[in-house]
A and B are shown apart, each in its own frame.
Chain A
Amino acid sequence: MALAVPTSKAPDLLTPEFMARLDALAVVSKKILAGKLRGERRSRKKGESMEFADYRNYSQGDDLRRIDWSLFARLQRLFLKLYQAEEDLSVYVIVDASASMDFGGVNKYDYARKVAAAVAYIGISNLDRVSLGVYSGDGEEHLMQDVRGKKQVLRLFRFLNGIKPQGQTDMQEACKRFIMRHRRPGICLVVSDFLDPNGFEGPLKALVANRMDTFAIHVLAPEEVEPELAGDFMLVDSETGERLDVTASRRLVENYQKTVRGFCSSLQQFCAARDITYLFASTDLPFEALVLNYLRTAGLVR
């Protein structure tokens, strides 16, 4: 914990004060996930940590070093002391870096990578195995795999800073490719606006099918939720360049807002049905509050 973090290199992502507060947090999973290495995480499995968990009756072949002799002296029966197992956890963060994320007074992509950085930092701090996948351009994949230990924080930040959002992203394809590389179950955080012409269902289904404890962070800018439009406009799709003539009347804007709410609601319902934790994040919500309060409430961090 006393690792010196090169804060000067990552001024736009996380402040030292915020990172200090993140140090007290850890990524948790609702599910029992088998780790490859021993980590700093108390697993739900019984293991060999220093922390007592339970007793069980001795059976032949058990390690005699774990017999509680004090208890044998009182009860004349052999009991074995069980300890909390400690293991590492796989934390996956998938960030949508399509052109649609490069939008808003508070840039959606900035917001998204800050959330990703914060969660990754928490994971790294707890010696979890953190993998990042940032998908931008046309099928362009930026990966940072199996990062462990705070030494990697600087690299992580540099990685995130080095990617510019652009192009059109097929999130389903991106998730598939990510899963192909990361078979191990873990916690998977998807930060996206989910404005995918192919639908948001495919990628999320793929993640759940691979036993990922999935968190969907739905990032939208306030300008998207409540656009201030009046008059005749030609709307240009930032990803496809598609043009759409719109005469923005009050009625049309109201209908749009209704549609946005319906879209969020359908995403939420989809997530709820598949045990995916859904969090709506408008970029006017300070991301610190999102990480410290909302993610904690949602059970991603503790």
Chain B
Amino acid sequence: MFDSPFASPPFPAVAWNFLEPVGLAGLAALLPIIALYFLKLKREERVVPSTLLWKKVIKDLHVNAPFQRLKYSLLLLLQLLLVALMAFALARPFLSVAADTGKYVVLLVDTSASMATKDAGGSTGKTRLEKAIEDARQKIDDMSRVDEMQIVAFDEDVRQVCPWTNDRSYLKKVVSELEPRHLRTHAQEAFETALAMAEERKGSEVLVLSDGCFDRLSLNKLLGESVQGTNTEEASLARLRKFRFVKYGREYTDNVGITGINARTRLVRQAGEGGARVDTLETQMFVVLENFGLDDVKAILTLTSDAGVFAPVIKVVELKGRQRGLESLDGNADGSTLESARSSEAFKLPANFQGVVTAAVRTEAGADNFPLDDRAQIVVGGAEGMNVLLVTGVNYFIEKVLVVMRGVKVDKMTPEEFEKDWNQRGALSVAEYDAVIFDGCAPPRWDDGGAIFLGTLPPLPGFKYRDPKAPKGAEAAPPSEPVLLEWPRVIDWDVAHPAMRYVNFGNVQIKQAQAWDLPKTAAVLVETSGGPLIAALESDRVNAVGTSFQVLDSDWPYRPSLPLFLRNSVAWVSEVSPRRRPTALKTGEVLSLPPVEGASTATLTWPDGHSEQVELSATRKMPVKGVNSIGLYRLTGIPGDGPDGRTFAVNLADTKESDNLAQASLQVGEETVEASPSAIEGKREIWRTLALIAVGLLMAEWFLYHRRLGL
């Protein structure tokens, strides 16, 4: 067994040395000083009748003051000391507190969002990154002429901001320009990169300036390559010793933040004017609040709209404090404790609301130490009305049902037309629709939007045909063709599901239905003795309903439950309509600009005010990278859009970054890299102190000179 490779040295070895020993040549200035001293003492001659009595006086003084001789030359001594101090200061002496700092240093600076926490630097309220930059500058100052350093910044990306150099001013400039980015931390890649860079130089080390708010690192991934090379545990651990971790921030936080924001829009039927019922879009918002502090807090959540469409909604949420010992959320944390620190709040927005909703949280005590997650925004709405595409051969009943739905615009395609369009444009062919009803046919895949599959297996993951005759428990490949069940008997139906509201399925007779195997995430809406008859699947981007029987193979068209079911289903699946999906991206995600016809470029304005021309395409979504700041992004210049253009909201919404308790150590597999503050205090230059002493001596000399003369 080996001793822990990361144990701090027992006591830092204090040693003197000089960064610029050539400065000691300044000691040669002592000789001219001595010469100057004698020249300076070319005294004024004064003729006296006799020096007899003067000699006697001086003799008496010498007798009375044995240190008179010393006193006499005190000024000279002071001056010599002064010059010596200055020469020492020029030689840039330093105190070597930890002598184990390498000559080659890879500075790995964490610029993730959590580094913006204002809990470093004592009462000055500096952010962690500001303190880290300050320390890095100190470290750069401490470099001697032959030392080299390179700087790697990491958050979601790993950036080599400065290659190996000993140009101190350049290094300082580069490190000073680092800013916390509103991004998550991908530490693994950064550590691997830094280690690889460090191994370019012998005797190098990686100085990690971070708060440690990221996932446990994988030791095997980090050291995997070398293990193959040297094949010994000791050698691989020696590589790990290259990492020196300097912790920023406190192991305490009072952060309360918004770690999730989402909204769902759905069509609801409401009583309108004159008692007529109208379909309106209703948006429900969800805000996830989390308390990372140890104390119970009352969080005040405020919801505002951008143009003041609705009065601000204020809600006070009591959040329990997190238990000590569960600070590391990736450990074996007790779920109930985590739940107690988190609260999901739902709000119903006014009907047909469109615009930006801003959620802001603060505690009763005031602002917390991490402001980035105190605010989150979401863009609601974006498209009016309800567009439904019906892909069917001839199904009079369904068409009739859809036509009578108010506020719904129905387009119809035959399966052949749809297939042609799909082959040309892919998913874009349905991008304009809130819901698509496939009657007896289906696209090859479905991964965005709402769809109703009537009598056909939804092309969704997990949906398979089933052979009811296959022995149970046997692992058999699902049949490629549907196995039909004759006259399946309805056992139960789920009236609680939104698609099944008011639907009575008890009187529906089905001639034949397909036997399906459903994924666990799917909900069975209607169950028969032979298996599921109607199923629903709900995911982030997809709401789908599937019936395993053709409508015309049943007496359903004659039942009132069919229009109810279709209306309910259209309303439910359209909740995920890409046309008006509320947008709230996370920082670092790729912003996809929708296909636009008639414009090849548009202007995208960042939250900080700077704007760029971005390319658009008529046939595909165009990705925009660099969406790294929290706030609203505006896309303007698209024909047909209003003057405000389109808005995208970007939030931090990341539990890992909001959980900004600084970690006392880094976990690398089963190993631990302890924080070693001395790594940054390696060389403490003291020339400023020496220069100050020299100035003090100068003043002392001045004072002594005048005091001796009794002026």
Contacts and interface: CB of A to CB of B under 8 A. Distances in A.
A259 B60 contact: yes
A245 interface: yes
A244 B49 contact: no
Interface stretch (B37-45, B305-313, B350-358, B472-480): B37-45
A255 B49 contact: no
A244 B711 contact: no
Given A235-B51, A247-B708, A252 B57 contact: yes
B324 interface: no
Interface in A221-250: 221, 224, 227, 229-240, 242-250
Contacts of B60: 255, 259
Contact of B48 (A236, A249, A259): A236
B45 A234 contact: yes
B55 A244 contact: yes
B709 interface: yes
B404 interface: no
B709 A238 contact: no
B45 A255 contact: no
Interface string A68-98: 0000000000000000000000000000000
| Pairs A-B, 6 closest by C-beta atoms | A250-B710, A100-B49, A195-B50, A234-B43, A237-B51, A103-B49
A231 B44 contact: yes
Contact of B49 (A108, A246, A249): A108
A232 B61 contact: no
B56 interface: yes
A171 interface: no
A231 B61 CA distance: 17
A11 interface: no
Interface string A158-199: 000000000000000000000000000000000001010100
Contacts of B27: none
Given A101-B49, A238-B50, A249-B708, 17 more contacts: A99-B49, A103-B49, A195-B53, A227-B48, A232-B41, A234-B43, A234-B46, A235-B46, A235-B51, A237-B50, A238-B48, A240-B51, A242-B51, A244-B51, A245-B41, A247-B708, A259-B53
A251 B710 contact: yes
A235 B53 contact: no
Interface string A193-228: 101010000000000000000000000010010010
B58 interface: yes
A182 B574 CA distance: 150
Given A195-B53, A230-B710, A245 B43 contact: yes
Nearest to A100: B49
A226 B54 CA distance: 12
Contacts, number: 92
Q: How large is the interface on A (under 10, 10 to 19, 20 to 34, 35 or more residues)?
A: 35 or more
Interface in B354-374: none
A242 B51 CA distance: 8
B72 A100 contact: no
Contact of B50 (A234, A239, A246, A249): A239
Nearest to A195: B50
B61 A252 contact: yes
A255 B57 contact: yes
A270 interface: no
B48 A224 contact: yes
A260 interface: yes
A256 interface: yes
A238 B45 CA distance: 12
A251 B58 CA distance: 11
A256 B61 CA distance: 10
Contacts of A249: 708-710
Contacts of A232: 41, 43-44
B52 interface: yes
A160 B49 CA distance: 21
B385 to A, nearest CB: 103
Contacts of B1: none
Contacts of A100: 49-50
B711 A238 contact: no
A238 B49 CA distance: 5
A233 B708 contact: no
B35 interface: no
B146 interface: no
A231 B45 CA distance: 11
A18 interface: no
Interface of A: 99-101, 103, 108, 193, 195, 197, 221, 224, 227, 229-240, 242-252, 255-256, 259-260, 263
Contacts of A235: 46-48, 51, 54
Contacts of A248: 709
Contacts of A255: 57, 60-61
Interface in B3-45: 41, 43-45
A256 B46 contact: no
27 contacts: A100-B49, A103-B48, A108-B49, A193-B50, A195-B53, A229-B46, A232-B43, A233-B44, A233-B45, A235-B47, A236-B46, A237-B51, A238-B47, A238-B49, A238-B50, A239-B50, A243-B45, A245-B41, A247-B708, A249-B708, A250-B709, A250-B710, A252-B61, A255-B57, A255-B61, A256-B57, A259-B53
Q: How large is the interface on B (under 10, 10 to 19, 20 to 34, 35 or more residues)?
A: 20 to 34
Contact of B72 (A103, A230, A236, A247): A247
Interface in B676-711: 708-711
Given A232-B43, A249-B710, A256 B54 contact: yes
Contacts of A251: 710
B48 A237 contact: yes
A280 B57 CA distance: 21
A195 B49 contact: yes
Contacts of B41: 232, 245
Contacts of B43: 232-234, 245
B57 A259 contact: yes
Nearest to A101: B49
Contact of B53 (A103, A238, A260): A260
Contacts of B51: 235-237, 240, 242, 244
A235 B711 CA distance: 20
Contacts of A197: 50, 52
B49 A193 contact: yes
Interface in B52-101: 52-58, 60-61, 72
B62 to A, nearest CB: 11
Nearest to B42: A234
Which of B43, B46, B49, B55 has most chain A Cβ within 10 Å?
Answer: B49
Interface in B76-131: none
A229 B54 CA distance: 12
A254 to B, nearest CB: 9
Contacts of B58: 244, 246, 252
A231 B709 contact: yes
A246 B54 contact: yes
A249 B44 CA distance: 15
Nearest to A260: B53
Nearest to A104: B49
Interface in B158-193: none
A106 to B, nearest CB: 13
B15 to A, nearest CB: 43
A243 B50 CA distance: 10
Interface in B565-592: none
Contacts of A195: 49-50, 52-53
A234 B708 CA distance: 17
Nearest to B41: A232
Contacts of A233: 43-46
A121 to B, nearest CB: 27
Contacts of A260: 53
Contacts of B44: 231-234
B73 to A, nearest CB: 11
A195 B49 CA distance: 8
A103 B55 CA distance: 19
Contacts of B54: 235, 244, 246, 256
Contacts of A229: 46
A197 B61 CA distance: 20
